[in-house]
Structure 1
Amino acid sequence: MLKNNRFCYFIIIISVILIGILSRNIDGVPTFFGDTLDAVMVYFGVRLLGINNDFIKTAVNALVLCFCIKFLQLYRADWILEILRTTLGHYALGQGFLWSGLVYYTLGVLIFSLMDSSLVNKNSRE
């Protein structure tokens, strides 16, 4: 069961990354959609790495990581600006700091941690 969950989390992460990249290239997709997807990807990444963690601990760890990445956008040293100029750096660290991003990170982690918890609990009862 453990390996199966890890594989499912890996597939979810890859899918979320692809959806996120595609959403950046479609006009009319609100910018908060990307922040929410970033948080979902981080949440499932934390689940993938620490699958035995409970859902609350995973959600808190994912939020801390998301918030650190968001606040890193405020740091404007030359070396980080060079990273942000690359495609991968731009995708990984974002464009800039907005307080609303913290709200969307929180919503993404909250919603998907609840969904994950209910699906895992449902499957464990069957």
Structure 2
Amino acid sequence: HTGLATFRPVWTEKLEDHKMHSEQYEIPKETIEAIEKANRVIAVGTTVVRALETVDQGVFTAEPKDIQGETSLFIYPGYQFKTIDAMITNFHWPKSTLIMLVSAFAGRDFIMQAYQEAMKFHYRFFSFGDAMLII
């Protein structure tokens, strides 16, 4: 469940000092089973990325069951992704935790090039705008 604090910018001097908001998540048993069998895991949205990256990797090899929890995982450049292989997400606000998350996944330079291209072709930004597939 996407929290309103998702859109809050980072105001701290050091990234490590930023207190990430928490979001609740539910991962159905069927999703766990699909991930176990998947060659690639494509997350749709940053909330899904955070949920899948939060759960213990053993959950994907154990007896599948519905999982519920809460995550305050802050993903920023340097984070090593464990579960996802690609993501679909919007074009996010500058200085937001969301742009840091996608930069952690694809590299800041690559993401900034994608944003330049999006502006050049008048893509719509933010929550109700256009989306991108990052592989």
- Same fold at TM > 0.5: no
TM-score (norm 2): 0.24
More helix by share: 1
TM-score (norm 1): 0.25
